[in-house]
Each structure stands twice: as C-alpha cells, then as structure tokens.
Structure 1
Amino acid sequence: MPQKLMIILASTDPLSCEGLSAPLFQACVAAGMNYSVEVVFTGPAAKLLRSGVAEGICLKADEKRTIYDFIKEGHAAGVRFFCFSPGLDGCPLRKEELIPEFSGVIGAAHFVEEIMSSECRVLTY
C-alpha cells in the first residue's frame, strides 16, 4: 500500500483561495493519517512560497483564515513544501524571501522517480 502522497500545484491560480484550499486541506488530512506528504509548487503557484503572498489570500471574504494558515497547519502536521526547479524560472525567488515552511527545491529526476514509484500517489491541481 502506498505510504506517500505528492500534491502538485501547477495550474492552480496562486490568487484563488477556492483552488488552493482543497489541495492544502487534503495534504493536512493525509499527514494526519501518518502518510508522508509533499506539496510541490511550480509555475505561477510557486509565488505562494514568497513571504506575504499566501498570507494575503483569505479563504473567504468574511473569514480571517488565510492560505498561509493552511500551509502552517500542514507543516505542523509534517507536510513538506517544495518548489519544482522550473517553477523558480517563472518567478525568481531568493532564499531570504521564502516562507519558513519551505523545504527546498526538487529537480526533474526526483520528481519522476517519485511519481513512478508504487509507494507514491500523485494529485495534480
């Protein structure tokens, strides 16, 4: 039985709370079920790794919780947050600009190895 979940945020609008809340919630739930969970940001979604961006996106107009709150909850539950290396090309990020929950950059070889593994399931958004 697979023990790892990889969630890829590739086509997700980084300013859409509707498009972001479900995958981040799923990551929190999977980590709470003791699965190894990685969320990989690429393309426009990589912008969410910059400090202040996810903090400015509220889940609902009348709610104070933000996308960054989901990221912090996921991190506390064991979710690891990565950027796929091509995602850095689209929105240049410097280390000092990144959220503290950022776990690192993954390259194509790691990405392909994980998604081809029978131990991993992949969800893309």
Structure 2
Amino acid sequence: MANKLIIILHNSPWSERPDNLVQPLFQAAAAAAMQFETEIILSGPNINLARRDIAAGIPIHGNDLRTLYDYLQEAVQAGAVIKVCAPPADWQAEDMIPEIEERVGAAYIISEAMDPDAVTLTY
C-alpha cells in the first residue's frame, strides 16, 4: 500500500466553481489525519490560490460561509503540506499564504507521481 497521497489541484478552476475544491481538501485532511504523508500541489490556474489576496476572498456557500482558504488551513492543521507549481518569478513570499511550504516545478510533480509509494489524485 502507498504511504503518500498527492492531490494536484489543476483542472477544477477556483474561479468557476470553488466548491468543487472542497472535497479534495477534505480528502487531504483525512489522509493526513490517518498519518499518511499528504501533499496538496496547486498547479495551472489554481496557483492563484497561493496568493494572500485571493484565497481568503473566495467564499464557499453551503451550510457555512467559510472561505476556500479556511479549508486549505484545515488540511494543513491535519498535517498536509501545500506546494505551488511554477508560480511567476515575481511572486514574493509575502505575496503568498503562509501555508505554502515550497515552490516546485514540473519535474517534481512527475517524479512524485511516478513514485510507487505514492498515489496521485488530480482535480
């Protein structure tokens, strides 16, 4: 059985249906709580979730009025780490949410996805 879960948020743009990203974040929190090494990688249009001025301003409507940033924080509190793939070079650390652990590139994603000890889910 794999001991690492990688969740790549790439194909479900936050700007169209931010509520579609809640379930993958719940999955990340659950996996981390179960003591699996868990990474959330923001990629493509979802790299913008790493920006302080965006993540906290995306409300998720439903039973509560939390933001997408609240769900990202819950995943981190459970033990998941968040990485951002290829953010623009002019982004400074102070531009990003403090939960971003590392900037990574395409080679990192490929090497991790090919690891037989990891399961990769993309959303």
Q: TM-score, normalised by structure 1?
A: 0.89
Aligned pairs for 1:84-123 (under 5 A) are 84-85=85-86, 88-89=87-88, 93-123=91-121
TM-superposition CA deviations, 1:27-58 (whole Å, max 9, x none): 11111111111111111100010003121112
**Identity score, percent:** 34
- Between the aligned partners of 1:105 and 1:84, the Cα distance in structure 2 is 6
Task: Give the SS at the match of 2:29.
Answer: helix
Q: In the TM superposition, what is the alpha-carbon distance from 1:124 to its structure 2 partner? A: 0.4
Task: Give the SS at the match of 1:56.
Answer: coil
Q: In the TM superposition, what is the alpha-carbon distance from 1:62 to its structure 2 partner? A: 6.1
2:63 aligned with 1:50 = no
2:12 aligned with 1:12 = yes
List gaps (5 residues or longer) in structure 1. Answer: none
Task: Give the SS at the match of 2:59.
Answer: coil
Q: TM-score, normalised by structure 2?
A: 0.90
Q: In the TM superposition, what is the alpha-carbon distance from 1:96 to its structure 2 partner? A: 1.2
Could you tell which deviates more after superposition, 73-82 or 102-111? 102-111
TM-superposition CA deviations, 1:50-86 (whole Å, max 9, x none): 003121112216622111111111111111111112x
Structure with higher helix content: 1
Change beyond 3 A, Cα 1:34–1:53: same
Q: Tell me how many residue pairs correspond in the alignment.
A: 122
Which residue identity does 1:106 align to in structure 2?
A: V
RMSD: 1.7
Q: In the TM superposition, what is the alpha-carbon distance from 1:94 to its structure 2 partner? A: 2.2
Runs (4 or more) in structure 1 with deviation over 4 Å come to none
Q: In the TM superposition, what is the alpha-carbon distance from 1:93 to its structure 2 partner? A: 2.6
Which residue identity does 1:5 align to in structure 2?
A: L
Which residue identity does 1:101 align to in structure 2?
A: E
- Between the aligned partners of 1:32 and 1:61, the Cα distance in structure 2 is 24
- Between the aligned partners of 1:63 and 1:42, the Cα distance in structure 2 is 27
